[in-house]
Chains A and B, each alone.
Chain A
Amino acid sequence: MATWTVSRRTVLAAAAAGLAGASPLRAFAAAADPIPVGVLTPLTGAGGPFGAEMQKAITGAVERINAAGGPLGRRIRLFVEDSQTNPEAAVRGVKKLIDVNRVVAVIGSWASGETLAVAPICIENKVVQMSTSGASRITEIQKRGFVYRTEPDDAFFGRAFAQYALGSGARRTAALELQVPYADSMVAAFRAGIEAGGGQFAERVTYAENQPNYRAEVDRVVRSRAEVVLVAGYEPDTAQILKDAYQAGFKGQFLAPGFSVTADLLANVGRGPAEGLVMLNEGVAGGSRAHEAFLALMGERKPYPFASQAYDQIQLVALAIEAAGTASGEAINRTMRQVSGPDGVAVVGFEEGAKRLREGQRINYEGASGPIDFDEHGNISRGNFSVAKVEQGRIVETGKTITVSLR
């Protein structure tokens, strides 16, 4: 055994000497080394369908980025972990990505629970983290830097609804709100937006989940004579409310976030109650150049909004590395806001952006999910929403988009 120990020491010493001697050479080799970037998306669990799409978007984008030469002339190499829509699995995944793969950034975490669990680990290790989670609580963690999200905060949703309602000419509004945190911040922002725009907010009704009916709740809204009513809930209660409102003779306009309305809901409530319902979907910059490029990459099926956000996340990481001149988490954290805009020449992808950067220009990435301008806390300061409507029992995109800015 002694011989072995000696021989290992010798090898180590030789290796160290070799490394020291070859340091200029090594620097050269590093420049050509791929840049490790971690992808942490849910492939199983509730987020499974979204995570698979997000990965497809990221992989496709990286192929294009590498084909264009890659940031600083280096290729991006992806390391993928399944977060299982489970904070514990997400933590195991992110530790492996950081400790083993030495990634400079981790993109793609989906559920707020995952993001809240992995963000502190990324901050400690000075690794940039990007998510598609909506909970307002994430902002508190983001204040420590390194953590960004491309999903509009729930408050943006409320503002967007207010903007839609005011734009449709409504004067009197009301809201029905499930007793959960997301609905609370969404409705508060809706009310603020309506009142700031000169409209009236007549009634705010909070309801419990799993009730056999919501007659009394709906009745209060009907009696408030509101023309537009926001329903902030999940699918089962939204379905029941639409039915009860129809049966109570409500003839006004309902608004709901896109994630609470599915084809199942439409089948269950029937034609009458859902007809004319307006939904807002987050994270789609329909018709923009970046969105077209993104769609071309995704194939024929219409992707969920989270895929376009994942696409933007990898573009931003690549551009931030190019702008910083080094590939490290700290460097990306330093230049992220320089490439996200809003100041600078608008660019829609890495190739275009890197060219401008090399010319010494400042750039503003305008993504597939929206303009993505990060504020001081790493939240997008403008949210982009597409407007869809139920027509003849089907969800139809109106082609309209609403952009919300909190400033």
Chain B
Amino acid sequence: MDLLAQYALYGLVSASILALPASALTLVYGLLHYPNFAIAELVMVGAYVAVALQVVGVPLPLAVGGAGLLVGALATGLDQGLFRRVRRYGPLPPLLMSIGVMFILQNAVRFVAGNRMRAFDLPVLRPLEVLGLRIGPYQLVMVGVSVVLLVVGHLLLARTRIGKAIRATADNPEVALASGIDAERVARIVWFATGILAGVAGGLLALETVVSPLMGWNLLLPVFAVAVLGGLGSLSGALVGALIVGLAQEWSTLLLPATYKNLVAFVILAAILLWRPSGLLGRARPSGR
């Protein structure tokens, strides 16, 4: 029982990291109807930016926040410079382009920063013990920041004018356009938001792992599993998917060797897709077309 609770806690930490890029993936998919394969590399860039800022003396919260803003700007730039130009040709060209961007980002970082592993210049801290459960101070920060970001994102989408515009455009771009919504502006804002989510996720991830050019690549499949599991295009689906994958992966190690962790995520994914191809909280058909 103890063990189950402890691993649930670990699962929560994993979920908090997966939920951010999965939300970013699902946001772009919901609006523009193509999956952005470069999302995990944006997380990696965020991790490098945050570490670089922190190592030269920027306080940690500012370094992580700065990573979010910079990656947000990068994401918007990628959309405006590249993706926007092929958007009108349907989902396949931007999808392929995102794969290209993925490799370019990975190798650009490798070119600039080298293959060496890097980490925050922070002391590694001993865990806190609460009710017999252990959790590291940085892990608390990761979960906390992630939850705040997701709640804020949800409120923005549900309660604000721009949120309404995003939802309207996602639902039916033609009608949205006809009612005077600037679709390009909506796209820019969504891309900026995905960049923030990915950049902050990178900064948070760097709190507990060593940063390397391959970290995005290693994250790509779990992030896709989470987004597809929850239902591409559904923000709350991404959250539920992250929790399921996070918990299942950690709990599976109680029964199976830890090397099967990733396999577990994909078995769940395959099962859900068989039973409900649109994902847990996805709509029966992708909206808009």
CB proximity to A under 8 Å, residues B190-237: 205, 208-210, 212, 214-215, 218-219
Question: A217 CA to B6 CA in the complex, in Å?
Answer: 13
CB proximity to A under 8 Å, residues B1-36: 3, 6-7, 10, 13-14, 17
Known: A213-B208, A236-B210. A248 touches B134 (CB 8 A): yes
A247 touches B10 (CB 8 A): no
Question: A105 CA to B82 CA in the complex, in Å?
Answer: 60
B127 touches A212 (CB 8 A): no
A237's nearest neighbour on chain B, judged by CB, is B210
Contact of B122 among A208, A223, A270 (CB under 8 A): A270
Say how far B69's CB is from chain A's closest CB, in angstroms. 23
Known: A247-B136, A247-B208. A211 touches B119 (CB 8 A): no
Of the 9-residue stretches A130-138, A189-197, A238-246, A395-403, which lies at the interface with chain B?
A238-246
Contact of B117 among A215, A220, A236, A249 (CB under 8 A): A236
Known: A208-B262, A272-B124. A243 touches B117 (CB 8 A): no
B138's nearest neighbour on chain A, judged by CB, is A247
B13 proximity list for chain A (CB < 8 A): 215
Q: Is A271 interfacial (CB 8 A cutoff)?
A: yes
B219 touches A270 (CB 8 A): no
Question: A404 CA to B122 CA in the complex, in Å?
Answer: 40
A247 touches B125 (CB 8 A): yes
Q: Is B250 interfacial (CB 8 A cutoff)?
A: yes
A268 touches B218 (CB 8 A): no
B253 touches A248 (CB 8 A): no
A240 touches B209 (CB 8 A): yes
Contact of A269 among B124, B136, B214 (CB under 8 A): B124
B205 proximity list for chain A (CB < 8 A): 212
B116 proximity list for chain A (CB < 8 A): 264
Question: A270 CA to B208 CA in the complex, in Å?
Answer: 12
B10 touches A212 (CB 8 A): no
Say how far B153's CB is from chain A's closest CB, in angstroms. 22
Q: Is A210 interfacial (CB 8 A cutoff)?
A: yes
B261 touches A216 (CB 8 A): yes
Known: A212-B215, A219-B6. A239 touches B253 (CB 8 A): no
CB proximity to A under 8 Å, residues B94-126: 116-119, 122-126
Question: A210 CA to B249 CA in the complex, in Å?
Answer: 15
Q: Is B258 interfacial (CB 8 A cutoff)?
A: yes
Chain B proximity mask over A243-272: 1 for CB below 8 Å, otherwise 0: 110111100000000000000110111111
A270's nearest neighbour on chain B, judged by CB, is B124
Question: A133 CA to B259 CA in the complex, in Å?
Answer: 27
B262 proximity list for chain A (CB < 8 A): 208
Q: Is B57 interfacial (CB 8 A cutoff)?
A: no
Say how far B109's CB is from chain A's closest CB, in angstroms. 16
B219's nearest neighbour on chain A, judged by CB, is A212
Question: A206 CA to B55 CA in the complex, in Å?
Answer: 33
A267's nearest neighbour on chain B, judged by CB, is B119
Contact of A268 among B118, B134, B139, B249 (CB under 8 A): B118
Indicate the member of B123, B136, B210 with the most A CB atoms within 10 Å: B210
A220 proximity list for chain B (CB < 8 A): 253, 258
Q: Is A370 interfacial (CB 8 A cutoff)?
A: no
Q: Is A36 interfacial (CB 8 A cutoff)?
A: no
B258 touches A210 (CB 8 A): no
Q: Is B81 interfacial (CB 8 A cutoff)?
A: no
A239's nearest neighbour on chain B, judged by CB, is B210
Q: Is A207 interfacial (CB 8 A cutoff)?
A: yes
Contact of B127 among A208, A240, A247, A271 (CB under 8 A): A247
B126 touches A247 (CB 8 A): yes
B259 touches A268 (CB 8 A): no
Question: A217 CA to B261 CA in the complex, in Å?
Answer: 10
Contact of B259 among A207, A219, A223 (CB under 8 A): A207
Question: A207 CA to B253 CA in the complex, in Å?
Answer: 11
Q: Is B257 interfacial (CB 8 A cutoff)?
A: yes
A272 touches B138 (CB 8 A): no
The 7 closest A-B pairs by CB, nearest first: A216-B253, A247-B136, A268-B119, A217-B258, A208-B259, A210-B218, A212-B209
Residues of chain B having any CB pair with chain A under 8 Å: 3, 6-7, 10, 13-14, 17, 116-119, 122-127, 129, 134, 136, 138-139, 205, 208-210, 212, 214-215, 218-219, 249-250, 253, 257-259, 261-262
Given contacts A205-B257, A215-B10, A243-B209, 13 further A-B contacts (CB under 8 A): A205-B258, A206-B258, A207-B258, A208-B261, A208-B262, A211-B218, A215-B13, A215-B250, A236-B117, A236-B210, A247-B136, A264-B117, A272-B123
11 contacts between A and B (CB under 8 A): A179-B259, A205-B257, A212-B17, A212-B218, A216-B249, A216-B253, A219-B7, A219-B10, A247-B124, A248-B136, A273-B124
Residues of chain A having any CB pair with chain B under 8 Å: 179, 205-208, 210-217, 219-220, 223, 235-236, 239-240, 243-244, 246-249, 264-265, 267-273
